[in-house]
Amino acid sequence: MDNFTPVSALIGGGLIGLGTLLLMATLGRIAGISGIASLAILQRDGRSWRLAFIVGLLLGPLLVSIIINDFTYSTPDLNSRTLIAGLLVGLGTAWGSGCTSGHGICGIGRFSPRSIAATLMFMATGVAVASFF
């Protein structure tokens, strides 16, 4: 996306916040992506809304690409560091009882001390790892 600006970031953040608010207001659910994805596979109860949520996440970028008429796509380089990073993110999500979306977007909005601590740890670890590699 060549036209990234603070305005587009503000609009994107606002839409994420609106989606999170609507999910909480309508279904009483937290928009934690790791929990939604894992429970869509593991539980039958509530599977339909979870699958609809995941499909929306996948189709949303396609819809935006159609609207702005920009279908550029680049495939990231996959190497051992990428695979290790993905594994560590998955482990951290399991050990931290949630992912950045659940803790960072929903938990902080609910003033959850656990989510604030988890998000600070996510950010500090991300900065440290990015500086190291």
Domain containing residue 81:
6-127
Average pLDDT over residues 106-116: 90
Asked whether residue 1 is assigned to any structural domain, the reply reads no
Residue 38 placed within a domain: yes
Residue 118 is assigned to a structural domain of this protein: yes
Confirm whether 109 is domain-assigned. yes
* Residue 132: inside a domain: no
Would you state the pLDDT for residue 93? 82
Q: How many domains would you assign to the chain?
A: 1
> Could you give the C-alpha distances from 66 to 8, 48, 63, 94, 115, in angstroms and in order?
17, 26, 5, 35, 36
State the pLDDT at residue 31.
Answer: 87
The residue-averaged pLDDT of 106-127 equals: 89
Lowest mean pLDDT among 40-54, 56-70, 82-96, 112-126: 82-96
pLDDT at 1 over 60: no
Residue 59 falls inside a structural domain: yes
Percent of the chain with pLDDT over 70: 98
- Residue 133: inside a domain, yes or no? no
Quick check: 87 pLDDT over 60? yes
pLDDT at 2: 64
Is residue 110 a part of any domain in this protein? yes
